[in-house]
Structure 1
Amino acid sequence: MAIEKNYKQILLSRLILNPENDRFEPVINEREAIEMMLQKLGTKIYNLAYDIVKRGLSKKPFYVIPSDDGKKYIVKDGNRRTTALKLVAHPQLIDKNKYPEYRKRFERLHKFFINKPIKSVLCYVYLDSNEADQWVELEHTGEQKGVGVVSWIPEQIQRFNTRRGKKIKIEMQALNFIRNSSFVSSDIKEKTSTISLTNFQRILSDAFIRERLGLKWVNSMLLSDYPENEVAKGLCCIINEIAKPDFSVKSIYTVKDRMQFIERISSSLPEFSDKSSKVDIWELSYEDNDYFNNETNEDTSINNVQINLDNNDNKEVGKKAIPINRKNVIPAKCLIRITNPKVNKIYKELQTLDINKYTNCASIVLRVFVELSIDTYLETFQLLGEQTISAANSGRSLHDKVSIVRSNMTSRKVMDDATSKGIRVMTKKEDSLWSIKTFHAYVHNNIFAPTPTDITTAWDNIEKFMVILWHEIEQQLINK
């Protein structure tokens, strides 16, 4: 099918911001339109520009109409994207006296933009404003009984993200469990559709509350080693509370608020302690085609887990065990933006290398990936002193370098206490993957070799640390 002639690739320089943008009151010209955007949406425009630089421009065409002189085009839909592109391409359009911070931020972003600039964009050209407004109305004035754009609710967004391979958020895993558990009443299940997901997420993200509910958050999976009926009882109590009409986020906003919240309902919660009966660890996220995509890697071992319940009714529930036999060192779902080209290639290799066939190779490559990542962080944040040429030639051991990075990330409060403590413990243990002795043994000892499980477990233990590390490196480079 031929592409409509109305679609045109138009130079950014030929696009004019709409001075009568319906988001704001009318202005006289494009310069004032840009200033209005900065006044009203400054941070959001910067975030949009950052996203465009990071992953490219949305494929949705801009809606435009010819200007009065016919030489340029006025943007009817796409003014935010146009503003972001114009400012990242020409930061000098920002008045540095009025908006000094935005000027600096866009100047830093411009350094990355010019490596792969966007000079033209796909537009749909309407004959006049009236024709364009009919379609702009469908985009921006609500559902209109199904004719317009229908926004997704948070739960629908979660389903979409899950089908794309993104990890299921903690609140969705808990809801999935509640909706499928035979220990949960239909009344509670109905309430899960009315609660605020952000409130539920805020509660479950609190480590103190998770412990009180008998839950663990490990490698982005919600787990428990307590009986299902007891875990269901605790979660149902939470749902009951946050479903009340007068419930306010203010009651759970801070750590102190959440501790007081859980104390108020403690009499209704199950009591978990060291003396409580435990079961084999199990995952709360049931298989449920109505809510989530359940395709699994054919190389992943899935087993049924036997759950021993308090009522002594041994019920076998089909749940996914924690994957322990995956094919690759780094799971394909673990997405890390790595700015160093060499390290990025190693990262990609660790996501594709068959660890069962090339176990020794995988252990050595992982060791290289870890040390190069640590070295990049040290050099990016200049943590080894001005006299040090490179982290590799600093003379410091890997143990020392990891400790420096951990301390820096902890002091900058970009890493939570649990992750920091885990890394500190790992570096002290001589038999951990961080240990220089272990690394040397893998490389030089002709009888000492790791198993695939050793290596995947090592990665699982450091995954969150590495994700944070590379995110901070990227942010530091952008902010320079």
Structure 2
Amino acid sequence: MCRVETDRDRIDEILFRRHTGSQGGVGQANWDGRMKTTFVNLTGKGGGLNVADEIEERLREAKMLPGRKKIPRTNLNRLLSAEAFRNRVGISCNKGKFQFIRKEDASLAALARIAKDLADKKITLDDVWDVERKSAYLDQLEGEGVLPTAADAIEPSKKSKKTQAKPLPKPKAKKPERRTHLIPQEDYGVAWAGRLQRQRAIWEELQFALELEHHPNAIAVLCRVLLEQSVDNYLVRAKLTTAFEHDALAKKIISSAENLHQKAKIDKRYLEVIRKARTIDAIISVDTLNKYVHSSRLAPSPDHLTAIWDTFAELIVLCLNE
């Protein structure tokens, strides 16, 4: 039997109840962990912390609510359903805890503008339905100077030194668990737009399917492909003129990193790490990745592959989120 619904909020609610459990699981069609995560990241439903509630409470305390009009919480949750979008407005919900990652007044000003746009229906469900439209709206706010910038970064507080009568015993170091997949089992906050289907498929193979011990050659090749396709996405989206898709990978990586540094999205130290990746003899380098693909003499090892991923992961995520 088919059922036709035109209300998108209602559709989300039906999907949420059907696939994430309701009434003790009666009538539930099971999704695996990745399917549930994808749905939560798209809609903001079932993520534990209600972001809209947290935002409304803080706007109320600051007396910045949009008059008597109600904020459409469903739309606000959907807009800020992924960590990448929340970070752009200066907040984070990492590990289920709401916190400001930019100066509170700058973040609240941005959130107040978003709340007003939603309450006035200047922004509706159609405008926050998918990743592309969410990004377009946030890009518009960024262009207007509404969103917090790197200048609004919160300086780490200096902890006062407390004298202790007796030193605490040092905890015994635990032996780290051996990584089985190239990409660790954690949420990197990538906002998967529709244009990133290939990159996402590769990412999920590297994070969930291919094992370092059994598939090092496949992982090495796909790691290079993911790195290049991520950087190519950044070149196009950021409209760089210092490098183009047909250029050498090393040049594209350096140009992207330098542009990210200019935008204050990476610090100088990480920029220097990326610049060193063009060193021919270094094991963590673009040259090594190229040799993994083209050389019959250089065999990838799990330790080298994880070191390469840990070096380039931040760059890849930033390039995908552009």
Q: Which TM bucket (shorter chain)?
A: 0.5 to 0.7
Against the structure 1 CA distance between its residues 114 and 431, is the aligned structure 2 distance closer, same or farther, given a 3 Å change threshold? closer
Alignment of 1:144-159 (within 5 A): none
Cα distance between partner residues in 2 of 1:202 and 1:23: 22
Alignment of 1:203-214 (within 5 A): 203=158
Count of residues in Structure 1 that have an aligned counterpart in Structure 2: 211
Match of residue 238 from structure 1:
161
Match of residue 408 from structure 1:
259
Alignment of 1:67-466 (within 5 A): 88=118, 93=120, 103=122, 106=123, 110-113=126-129, 202-203=157-158, 238-239=161-162, 318-323=172-177, 325-337=178-190, 338-339=192-193, 340-352=196-208, 353-384=210-241, 391-392=244-245, 395-435=246-286, 437-466=287-316
**Shift, 1:85, TM fit:** 9.6
| TM value normalised by structure 1 | 0.37
| TM value normalised by structure 2 | 0.52
**Shift, 1:430, TM fit:** 3.9
**Shift, 1:240, TM fit:** 5.7
**Shift, 1:370, TM fit:** 0.4
For structure 2, list consecutive stretches of 5 or more residues without a partner in the other structure.
1-8, 12-56, 83-113, 134-153
RMSD of Structure 2 on Structure 1 (CA): 4.7
**Shift, 1:326, TM fit:** 0.6
**Shift, 1:114, TM fit:** 6.9
**Shift, 1:449, TM fit:** 0.8
Against the structure 1 CA distance between its residues 39 and 10, is the aligned structure 2 distance closer, same or farther, given a 3 Å change threshold? same
Deviation readout 1:449-469 (Å, 9 max, x if unpaired): 110100011111222333333
CA contact (8 A) 1:363 1:450 kept: yes
3-state SS in 1 of match to 2:161: helix
Cα distance between partner residues in 1 of 2:206 and 2:216: 11
The AA in structure 2 aligned to 1:371 is E
The AA in structure 2 aligned to 1:417 is K
Cα distance between partner residues in 2 of 1:111 and 1:24: 22
Determine which structure has greater relative contact order: mean sequence separation of CA pairs < 8 Å that are 6+ residues apart, divided by chain length.
Answer: 2
Cα distance between partner residues in 2 of 1:377 and 1:334: 20
**Shift, 1:202, TM fit:** 2.7
Against the structure 1 CA distance between its residues 41 and 401, is the aligned structure 2 distance closer, same or farther, given a 3 Å change threshold? farther
Deviation readout 1:131-155 (Å, 9 max, x if unpaired): xxxxxxxxxxxxxxxxxxxxxxxxx
Cα distance between partner residues in 1 of 2:183 and 2:131: 29
Against the structure 1 CA distance between its residues 114 and 85, is the aligned structure 2 distance closer, same or farther, given a 3 Å change threshold? farther
Cα distance between partner residues in 2 of 1:351 and 1:23: 36
Cα distance between partner residues in 1 of 2:264 and 2:220: 31
Against the structure 1 CA distance between its residues 348 and 49, is the aligned structure 2 distance closer, same or farther, given a 3 Å change threshold? same
**Shift, 1:374, TM fit:** 0.4
Cα distance between partner residues in 1 of 2:67 and 2:184: 43
Against the structure 1 CA distance between its residues 50 and 317, is the aligned structure 2 distance closer, same or farther, given a 3 Å change threshold? same
**Shift, 1:115, TM fit:** 8.6
CA contact (8 A) 1:433 1:458 kept: yes
For structure 1, list consecutive stretches of 5 or more residues without a partner in the other structure.
1-8, 12-21, 26-35, 57-83, 95-102, 118-197, 205-236, 242-314, 474-480
Q: Greater share of strand residues, 1 or 2?
A: 1
The AA in structure 2 aligned to 1:113 is W
The AA in structure 1 aligned to 2:274 is I
CA contact (8 A) 2:66 2:115 kept: no
**Shift, 1:321, TM fit:** 4.0
CA contact (8 A) 2:66 2:116 kept: no
CA contact (8 A) 1:329 1:459 kept: yes
Against the structure 1 CA distance between its residues 432 and 112, is the aligned structure 2 distance closer, same or farther, given a 3 Å change threshold? farther
Deviation readout 1:418-437 (Å, 9 max, x if unpaired): 222211122334434442x3
CA contact (8 A) 1:329 1:456 kept: yes
Q: Do residues 38 (structure 1) and 54 (structure 2) align?
A: no
- Identical aligned pairs, as a percentage? 19
Cα distance between partner residues in 2 of 1:53 and 1:326: 34
Against the structure 1 CA distance between its residues 414 and 51, is the aligned structure 2 distance closer, same or farther, given a 3 Å change threshold? farther
Deviation readout 1:146-187 (Å, 9 max, x if unpaired): xxxxxxxxxxxxxxxxxxxxxxxxxxxxxxxxxxxxxxxxxx
CA contact (8 A) 2:233 2:319 kept: no
Cα distance between partner residues in 2 of 1:40 and 1:344: 42
CA contact (8 A) 1:363 1:455 kept: yes
Against the structure 1 CA distance between its residues 49 and 24, is the aligned structure 2 distance closer, same or farther, given a 3 Å change threshold? closer
**Shift, 1:87, TM fit:** 5.5
State which structure, 1 or 2, has the greater radius of gyration over its C-alpha atoms: 1
CA contact (8 A) 1:327 1:354 kept: yes
Cα distance between partner residues in 1 of 2:115 and 2:198: 30
Match of residue 74 from structure 1:
none
The AA in structure 2 aligned to 1:354 is E
Against the structure 1 CA distance between its residues 47 and 432, is the aligned structure 2 distance closer, same or farther, given a 3 Å change threshold? farther
